[in-house]
Amino acid sequence: MGAFLFSQAINIRVGAKVDMHIIIGLHTVADIYCGDCGELLGWKYERAYEASQKYKEGKFILEKAKITKENW
């Protein structure tokens, strides 16, 4: 899976916040959905608990497969 980290995203809907333990530490994240069709696109980092991960707070992860189209 490839993904992109963005500082801003438009035309999205943010879901409920949940705490997740992932390899890089504890984060509070929220799923993000397309504002038009409602498809899950990725997630938003609401809070990072590890000092080295604080740069992600407020940023969006959009999955490459959900936002790109190959072989047009």
Q: Tens of pLDDT along 32-68?
A: 999 999 999 999 999 999 999 999 999 999 999 888 8
Q: Tell me if 72 is assigned to some domain.
A: no
Q: What is the pLDDT of residue 48?
A: 95
State how many domains the chain has.
1
58 domain-assigned: yes
Q: Which domain covers residue 51, as residue numbers?
A: 3-66
Question: Is residue 37 assigned to a domain?
Answer: yes
Encoded tokens for 52? 């080295």
Task: Tell me if 29 is assigned to some domain.
Answer: yes
Domain-located, residue 71? no
Q: For position 72, what pLDDT does the model report?
A: 66
Nearest to 2 by CA among 69, 62, 72: 62
